[in-house]
Structure 1
Amino acid sequence: MAMNENVAKVLEEQINKELFSAYLYLTFADYYEERGLKGFANWYEIQVKEEVDHAMAIRRYLLDNDYKPTMLAIEKPSMRFENDLDPLKAGLAHEEYVTSLIHHCYEVAQEAHDIRALQMLDYFVKEQGEEESNARDMVNNMKLFGCDPKGLYDLDREYQGRVYTQMTALPL
């Protein structure tokens, strides 16, 4: 059965959005690296890898369903940060935006009665809940503990401990 064209197009666009997220999170990592906050930089470097994993998983899904995706141009991130909280707040806002994109993909797949796409997207719906929770925790932790050098140091050390786990395949 041929893939629904509307579903394929929104998933193709989602690949682009996931890759943009990777670019955006690289700018966050660079900001923290320049500030000497290597733990925060590590956190976002891992986020970059996860976003690329997400793009590749959606690409693989399209290819496995006999649809060849077209790679679209990736927008250049343009954010500037005034303080260490700014990237974290921008990260939370971005994750909320990505959640809305995933929900849109889900709605299009639902409208097309594309059960396979819905099953694939279930992973991303759950993943976005975790992403928003992590981003919210980082904002709250910075507000609570990042105001003094010792608290900021402790948070940075905590985030240095984050380890990348490669996504193996979408659970279908």
Structure 2
Amino acid sequence: MKLSEKMAEAINKQINEEFYSAYLYLAMASYLESQKLKGAAKWMEIQYQEEISHAMKFYAYMNERGARVVLKAIKEPQKEWNSMLEVFEDAYKHEQYITSLINDLANLAMEEKDHATLALLQWFINEQVEEEANTSEIVDKINFVKDSPNGLYMLDRELGQRPAVTTTQGEEQA
């Protein structure tokens, strides 16, 4: 069964949001790298890869359902922050925003009785719980170490230990 025009349009918008998320996280990585926070920068680079994989999951789904993917311009992300804390606070707020968009897609799928899309979105709903929890935990840890250079150093090292994203075939990405 082919996707409705309304659902295809909504998923196309989400694909754009996922690519914007990738751009935003890469901009955050660049800022963190410029601040010599290489571990936090690596964490954000992996987050960038994860967002690309989310966009591609929607892309593949649209093709499976016979809908046309229409790529639109990706807006320029913010490029400056005042601190690592501000970067991760913004990342947390952004994940909350993405959660609201995924929930809107799920509501539309329920309205349209589109069970296949709802099944796909269940994966994204669960993923967003994890995304919000991860960024919130990092914000809490940054607040915990406050202005301690030693604490920040240890946290930066911890963030740099984040494992790379894997594809559905189990291959590592970046």
Shift of 1:146: 4.3
Shift of 1:145: 1.4
Shift of 1:80: 2.6
1:146/1:155 contact within 8 Å kept: no
Q: Percent identity?
A: 38
User: Aligned with 2:44: secondary structure?
Assistant: helix
1:53/1:166 contact within 8 Å kept: no
Aligned Cα root-mean-square deviation (Å): 1.1
2:31/2:79 contact within 8 Å kept: no
Residue type matched to 1:60 in 2?
A
2:42/2:160 contact within 8 Å kept: yes
Partner of 2:25: 25
Deviation track 1:87-126 (CA, whole Å, cap 9, x = no partner) reads: 0100000000000000011111111000000000000000
The structure 1 segments of at least 4 consecutive aligned residues displaced by more than 6 Å after TM superposition are: none
- 2 CA distance for matches of 1:168 and 1:157? 28
Residue type matched to 1:137 in 2?
E
User: Aligned with 1:14: secondary structure?
Assistant: helix
Partner of 1:60: 60
- 2 CA distance for matches of 1:19 and 1:90? 17
Show structure 1 runs of 5+ residues with no match: none
Partner of 2:35: 35
Partner of 1:96: 96
Aligned residue-pair number: 169
- 2 CA distance for matches of 1:89 and 1:141? 12
Partner of 1:48: 48
Partner of 1:119: 119
Show structure 2 runs of 5+ residues with no match: 170-174
Residue type matched to 1:96 in 2?
Q
